[in-house]
Amino acid sequence: MSILASWLASPPLEAALEISPAAVSVAVLGGRSSNAVVQGYAVEPLPPGAVTPSLTATNIADPDSVARALSAACQSLGLKPKRVALVIPDVAAKVSLVKFEQTPSRRDDLNQLIRWQVKKATPFPVDDACLTYTPGARSASGSEFVVVVARRETVREYEGVCEQVGIEAGLVDISTFGVINLFLSSNLGTGGDWLVVHMRPEYTSIAILRREDMLFFRNRAEGDAEALEDVVHQTAMYYQDRLEGRGFSRILLGGIGRLQGEVDLARRNLEARMGTVVEPIDPTRGAALTDRIHATPELMATLSPLVGMLLRTRREAA
């Protein structure tokens, strides 16, 4: 069972694309699910200020520039997709984990209960939002749900630039959930408890999973006064004290930093602080690259959420 949220269920999609403040990125997979191959990718830069991810404000100030970049990326791949998996920034949505001692048997009652629960912590009217949830961990004390909520207007901004070039967003998800799905869909990280640290220039997201169930999710804005290794260490202490943690089977870190070398520095600092090996987030664990694609750290960071999204759609359709 996937922990990852979508606003529209879909069969396997033709391509995945991510809209970030820096660029529009597109990737296409070939091969079978057990032997997937990245057939091609394209990255088109965006002008500064065209995209500014936010939970409560306008995200896409220059939709025409974003649409042109998307069109150019597809053209460079010789691609004319009708439906795609769309990746948006983590900070454009809010992730919550809610727990109930008793879960209503009727879906409508559960919907209302979850909306009421997240309403208190959501900085916009939940009635005007896109909200999705999926079952999480279960214990003797109750059942947990992973809930993702975003302003309907925000989702429409990202979908709208796709529609400008004739593309439908058949699946919408946040970037770090795409990364997590890379491991869930390829069975690479689902044993024991595992920690994911996903960096972007604007934020860093930290997630803890127990096999396939999400136990913890936190988003740290860029510019936070606390060092990342301190935040991760605090997260690990919370995991031990409150989540019955017995140690991580894997710690994974990857993404794109604001400065060159920032991800490598974060890895070294985390290894020193946590006293264990921190593995890179590597999309080739789930899909090989064709010979003509040269792997660089930047490309690996770009491909990880895209490959994860596409592997997810394949898994759900199987």
Q: Tell me how far CA of residue 124 lies from CA of 97, 121, 205, 250, in angstroms.
A: 18, 9, 22, 36
Q: How many helices (H) and strands (E) does the chain have?
A: 7, 14
Q: Tens place of pLDDT for every residue, the chain, 318 residues?
A: 344 444 444 467 889 999 999 999 999 999 876 789 999 999 999 999 999 999 999 999 999 999 999 999 999 999 999 999 999 999 999 999 999 999 999 999 999 999 999 998 999 999 889 999 999 999 888 999 999 999 999 999 999 999 999 999 999 999 999 999 998 887 665 678 999 999 999 999 999 999 899 999 999 887 777 889 999 999 999 999 999 999 999 999 999 998 889 999 999 999 999 999 999 999 998 999 998 898 899 999 999 999 999 999 888 877
> What's residue 221's pLDDT?
83
> What's residue 315's pLDDT?
84
* Of the candidates 171, 176, 215, the residue with the CA atom closest to the CA atom of residue 192: 215
Q: What is the pTM of this model?
A: 0.93
> What's residue 314's pLDDT?
87
> What's residue 33's pLDDT?
67
> What's residue 233's pLDDT?
93
* Of the candidates 75, 87, 78, the residue with the CA atom closest to the CA atom of residue 165: 75
| The token pair that represents 28 in the structure block | 């296409």
